[in-house]
Structure 1
């Protein structure tokens, strides 16, 4: 499933297409910098280079910005980019609260937003947009993966340590729903500031609850800090399990298998999945200080590739809703996520993977971090289309019933 085969039909891009300008907006210096940051910019530029090998007449510029994990900053920068700097599409945007803000601005300006770094499933829920694609993962898929696995293993009582922001609330909500559906109980939860510097008092509350599973509803530097403190407190030695509801390979690399061994997690991408992911990851590492790409960075690469296919197909990037409609119409295919689809609600569908962190003795190299426990088909991992409350779904169904294209 090489890139060349997936874009060959679009190789002849008319020279009259205006240059395309895309922005990679993320956290470049804070708790999510390793997850996305400059690595996502590298991934976007690699995507542009790879696409232009087949579509040489399409000029694309990539710019980068730091939203500082603040919704007001992200929304303001999005407006400046769209209104003054000619940005056609924004990619990445970790931090769900920032993603939701950029999502709204993008719709107002009729541009394109392809999110790969934020988790909230609300992006494809009641407030879904014809201008947004949610590419990499979401809180429902994380709940179905990690939450489902822990419940099946007997972890039927939970206590959540939850970051006090949109993602933390969403992943706790969606994991709680799964636990209750499967006959489990949530014994309690505690909110932590974002970012947090001391997790000990919150982990002590979780420990005192007696819950079989302590769910970490946070990400990035917060997750790393919580796992390290849990190891120092020897929580798992007391019989409680630790569930990281959003963990990236960069987090495990920072923690090391010695600290994180046995942790169960869900990701949509891992550099060592197959020959194609390994080949891309080796190229990426040569450009980015030896680091392997995270799932968020892989999502930027794949999202940019598919966006450019749609721009080439509609012969322009001016009408964001039209470009996103074409993205939904075209099947997705790239070396990192394989073949997939984008639903009418904007949810990108692909397999998810349940991983377990290797023991130090099992790890053969610095980035040899995971062993695969299960492949979760995309149709099982993500929320069913009719359960999200997205108005675009009903509109599309009505259009189909009327015999017209939505």
Structure 2
């Protein structure tokens, strides 16, 4: 089902980031974006809503944001990139993307393609932010003046954000991975893929990792030379980003897979639990967090704690009367997640004591896929 969104206007999987470590300061605020364009800031100490931005523009794709010290840079699917004061919710400025005047010079035909921003985390590099649009343009824009510094054109819509790796911009052109010059956007190198990839590449331990739509993983160096590749025996349906432990790579769809970072050999594979006797119950992986020696993951009806070494499910919680919506996030000894009853919950690490953190967190309900994006500070 989700692949149909990729092909005919796309909702990309959520990028997940590493969470609170023991040496990091305690996080006190949770930012949650939902797929109707809304954004909420919840104080985790008081459980109160600090502020909310209700978009009311009929956005029905999940839109993402990037944190800075005092601000949030959020890209909406309707071409807007907005700077928001993360403490007050005040909108400082709005940048609206426009097709480059010289787009026709590239010779690519985008007739009939709507101008949208799909699954963009604005990548901040110095005083500029970098993003891509559905008209095949990657752009670097000055945050202060909002003037475009450079544009790099490809022949098809852009489905995910670029990343920065070794002072280069790495872009996913669906059928290939490219590196661009950070200063002028010129192409440096290309790695061709046999099967298209729709998720952003991931940088880990000075290597670049790409997972294609069927679950094959490619490990590349900074010059886009292939180090190794893994192809699963059974095609996978990729909607979630690769996650990393010190030695392994974890990802999945209806199954969860662990690979060795050194060489890409399979460690283990487990099928995620599901309720086959109840209509609508599915076990498609939505997100995961790597925590010490375990993996914490969620499907619509399960929270799971999985042993990193062998894939054994150590603990689980089943939701009979509601679903988890989108991303699971760990913070300060609790796991946080939104449910289909519009409540933001937290649960302890034993998956026993669950409490409501905030109510009336709205998400889109009249579409096939509902999702969230969560960050903490």
TM tier, shorter chain? Answer: 0.3 to 0.5
Higher strand content, 1 or 2 = 2
**Normalising to structure 1: TM-score of the pair?**
0.31
Higher helix content, 1 or 2 = 1
* Larger RCO, structures 1/2 (Cα 8 Å, 6+ apart): 1
**Normalising to structure 2: TM-score of the pair?**
0.33
